[in-house]
Amino acid sequence: MELDNIKKHCERLVKQIDFYVGEGKGREILSDLYNVTGEETPQECAKWANDVISRLEDNIDSEKLILIRQECACVKTNKYSAYNKKYFKELRENNTDENEYLKAVANFLNGRPRIGQKVEFVDGKIITHIGIKNSCGCFTVKNGWDKPESITWCRCCQGTLYSVYQFVLPEKACHMDIVETHATDGSDCVFSTWYTEK
């Protein structure tokens, strides 16, 4: 990935803080952490990311913080994607029972790039295993750390997955949570997705 991933990430982060907390709050909360150039080493990126985590957790409530971090995802799917416009519709047409449909979705997504190495439907939930064993695959701090200091950082990966899974049952509310990540001393990054009535 390009060296300026950290700069792009910081710009997205400031924008999302402004949106969820208030105009100008992004630069205020990050203050000295805003001046990244994109020329930082992976180790400098990791230190920056851990400093950002602390600053965010000290200044923003947890519900807003999850939304902010999800919106900072490096890769996101939108309503025009083939997932939404084609694949999920075809799977739904062939599986009228909701649980059978969700199993079909999990099978379809299993091993797809940017989704995960393993996707399964277990006890009413879609479980996604990112599949990067024993190291964090974050593009922003690539190879800069063994693991983030908090799952706050991992919410970006959650945002990438959420951007896809929200279109599986668009008439329902999509919920996601972290089962484990390297930040929680897990050996993999695992996310759980489920749906409720809106």
pLDDT tens digit sequence for 127-157: 999 877 777 878 788 777 778 889 999 999 9
d(CA 18, CA 142) in angstroms, rounded, equals 26
> Is the whole-model pTM more than 0.85?
yes
Which stretches of 95-147 are DSSP H helices? 98-109
Confidence of residue 2 (pLDDT cuts 50, 70, 90): very low
Give the C-alpha distances (Å, rounded to integers) separating 188 from 88, 102, 181, 183. 27, 23, 6, 10
Nearest to 48 by CA among 13, 23, 88, 100: 13
Distance CA 88, CA 71 (A): 23
3-state secondary structure of 84: helix
CA separation for the pair 16, 179 (Å, rounded): 25
pLDDT tens track for 46-95: 899 999 999 999 999 999 999 999 999 988 899 899 999 999 999 999 99
Give me 133's structure tokens: 């064993």
**Which residues are CB-contacts of 180 (< 8 A; sequence separation ≥ 6)?**
186, 187, 188, 189, 190
| Mean of per-residue pLDDT scores for the chain | 91
